[in-house]
Amino acid sequence: MEIIIQQLINGLFLGSIYALMALGYTMVYGIIKLINFAHGEIYMIGSFIGYFLIHQFNDWGIFPNGWGFFVAMIVSMIVSAALGVIIEILAYRPLRGATRISALITAIGVSYLLQNLMIYFFSPDTRPFPQAIERKLYTFSGISVSNIQLLILFVSVSLMLLLQIIVKGTKMGKAMRAVSVDPDAAQLMGINVNRTISFTFALGSALAAAGGMLIGLYYNSIDPMMGVAPGLKSFVAAVLGGIGIIPGAALGGFVIGLIETLSTAVGFSDYKDALVYGVLIVILIIRPAGILGKNVKEKV
């Protein structure tokens, strides 16, 4: 029983990372109906930015005792947000009036381009992520939780709440919601649609970068291919919760994390990915729009 409880706790921490990434997928899809398959590579690049910054801070002797990690994470989020905007402007904006399959193929192409550029410039080797925060273990009644896990959950939930405040309580958030409903009508009301879409990409990319740094700190390793599997699972999480719905993406991320860790606890660690996709298929058969999604009739 202790093993099951331990894996449930581990699943919450892992699921919070998937939730952060799934939010990026669901926001972009909600705005322009595009699956940004390059999102996992933003996650990976964010972790590499943090890796180099923390090493540089150590060489300079500044931001000690974990401050270097938080400063590096903020800078990584800013740079990744800018990268997300650049990708949107160069790769996706010219195809906004094209067919969805064209945009989808472009997204896959951007994903492979970023992967191979990182491999070319930084090699495919796995690198140990600097442990800027000393790991401590807390044990309660046989259940162990590390300070790194608590940090991951705290940062992830804080960023999700901040995102919700931005979407629900700011002028740009209102613009995002308007564009997601009807971009043409939003433009007639004076909303800058291009700027709103770029802001959405920036938000999603910043969240992905934070997730990349947190997972690097947790697993103590990063590599240019690290975004492939988490990126795909985060997309699954977004679909599972109801793609285009922000709370649904967060819920889907936690569900995927729990499924993975529970499958490990019961001895099916080799089949955890198959179980994740199997649960997705079952839920979509029962609820095609996802857990929190609503079936919408589309005029043809």
pLDDT confidence of 51, banded at 50, 70, 90?
very high
Domain-by-domain residue ranges, the chain? 2-127+136-286
pLDDT at 63: 86
Residue whose structure tokens are 């992520």: 129
Residue 138: CB atoms within 10 Å: 11
User: Residues 227, 44: contact at Cβ < 8 Å?
Assistant: yes
Half-sphere exposure of 285 (CA within 13 A, CB side): 6
User: Residues 212, 229: contact at Cβ < 8 Å?
Assistant: no
More confident position, 171 or 267: 171
pTM tops 0.95:
no
Residue 270: CB atoms within 10 Å: 9
Structure tokens at 110: 């951007």
Half-sphere exposure of 151 (CA within 13 A, CB side): 21
Rounded mean pLDDT of the chain?
Answer: 89
Cα–Cα distance, 226 to 278 (Å, whole number): 23
pLDDT tens figures, 192-209: 999 999 999 999 999 999
The set of long-range contacts for 106-113, using a CB threshold of 8 Å and a minimum separation of 24, is 107/34, 107/35, 107/36, 107/37, 107/38, 108/37, 110/37, 110/38, 110/41, 111/37, 111/38, 111/40, 111/41, 111/231
User: Residues 248, 251, 256, 259: is their CA dihedral positive or negative?
Assistant: negative
pLDDT at 297: 55
Cα–Cα distance, 196 to 190 (Å, whole number): 12
Task: Determine the average pLDDT of the residues in 160-183.
Answer: 92
pLDDT tens figures, 110-158: 999 999 999 999 999 999 999 888 888 888 877 889 999 999 999 999 9
Task: Determine the average pLDDT of the residues in 23-43.
Answer: 91
- Asked if the 2-127+136-286 domain carries CATH number 1.10.3470, the reply is yes
Cα–Cα distance, 13 to 260 (Å, whole number): 12
User: Residues 152, 16: contact at Cβ < 8 Å?
Assistant: yes
Residue whose structure tokens are 């109906």: 33
User: Residues 274, 275, 279, 285: is their CA dihedral positive or negative?
Assistant: positive
pLDDT confidence of 296, banded at 50, 70, 90?
low
Q: Quote the DSSP letter at residue 134.
A: -
